[in-house]
Amino acid sequence: MNSNTPMLRRVLALYCLATGFSVAAVVYHQSMTFLIAASLGLPVDALWSLSLATQLGYGAGLVLCLPLGDVYPSRLLIPGALLLLGVTLLLLAIVPTLPLMIVLCALAGVLSVGGQLLIAHCAKTCLPSERAAVIGSLLSSLFAGLLLARVLAGWGGELVGWRGIYQLVGVITALLGFLIRPRLSEVQPSKPIGYGAMLASQCRLWMENPSLRRFALIAACFFAASNGIWANLGSLTHSTLQWSAAQTGLLAFTSLAALRSPMLANYLQHKMRWQAVVVLLGIGLMLVSLAGALVGANVFMIVVFLVVSDMAVRSVQALTQSRVLAIDPAAASRLNSLYMTVFFVGAAIGSWLGGLSVHYLGWLGMYLLPLVCALAGVGLTMLGGQGEAAWSSLAVIPEQRHP
């Protein structure tokens, strides 16, 4: 199933762009909330539903579409997802009402699985010796896409309006769909399987792999913290600090540190067990959240809080997702589907809880939500089948590495 030749640099660069622009569609609106609200004549805090719809749509796409990577050719699925996503973004540029925008955001979420299809495709087609590096590059591009989407939306929205941003990214995303098709390797399923049987196999994979369940739930707790922050940060900074969309977009640069998260996770795994890595990251996030709750709306504290939270969340994702994909490369799309479904259900719950926390508690709620989420993630790590070894493994104890 693996390719016999190394991946060319230009092909990897195109894959990275496609991955970044696919996932970026999930967060474009987050830095433009008050621009959208002003255009539609709505209060800013009414737009939390856009994040919820997008994340739930992404979750639906992960359940219903991502497993198709084990059934249908990548040259059909990945370009098709990118092209349709581009069209959906162009439709968002002309949407007249909030209900219709919610529907299109949900559809954009469904179609944003192209990047995850590409990650699973590379897990199957890359040489074993380069698989970890390629997947790490794609995960870094995924994080970069989230970062640049917030910056582009925040600054660009001030210059050309939020509708102009959707027009621009719609054209670029569709163009990537055309460019990537001839550069995808053909991969056939190891054995024929129908769509219904494929969905049924999802249940079996979930039930037969306790490590999959554990990794997914731990990652979901951390991503709930991250999405609860970013889904509500724009409305909070605008209402309390009177920041513009461009100023809020600047905060996305704090995510630059997260681009090195796959490398950080890999380094830490060579020093201690994976349980200890999650525990340390979770404790770090909880301490910074507690400090933020005490300090409040201080710009320096906000920046530190965002840097630490993004590093923790992305490191945990890189740590857990690489292990999930290594469980069975032949079923990489289905395993990735299950993992990412739980991951983004956590994000949707985080958006909802974050909206409630910010509405009732303001900045205190912004800081307390990730503290609680990180505590849940650490608790799942400690209470798992091997949790009793986590604390003792804070010492240097090497273990077998997954590719």
The domain that contains 153 carries what CATH number?
Answer: 1.20.1250.20
With 70 as the cut, is the pLDDT of residue 397 above it? no
Query: What local confidence, expressed as pLDDT, does residue 188 receive?
Result: 63
Structural domain includes residue 401? no
Structural domain includes residue 403? no
Higher pLDDT residue, 254 or 205? Answer: 205
How many structural domains are present in the chain? Answer: 1
Query: Closest Cα to residue 371, out of 383, 354, 388, 384?
Result: 354
With 60 as the cut, is the pLDDT of residue 1 above it? no
The region, left, alpha or beta by phi > 0 then psi within -120 to 50, assigned to residue 42 is beta
- Write out pLDDT tens, residues 36-76: 888 888 777 677 788 788 878 887 888 888 888 877 888 88
Q: What is the pTM of this model?
A: 0.69
Structural domain includes residue 3? no
Structural domain includes residue 121? yes
89-98, 168-177, 230-239, range with the lowest pLDDT: 230-239
The amino acid at residue 199 is: L
Structural domain includes residue 141? yes
Structural domain includes residue 258? yes
Structure tokens at 340: 């990412």
- Write out pLDDT tens, residues 283-334: 999 999 999 888 888 888 888 888 888 888 888 888 888 788 778 877 777 8
Structural domain includes residue 399? no
Buried/exposed code over 246-260 (b: 16+ C-beta within 10 A; e: otherwise) = bbbbbbbebbebbbe
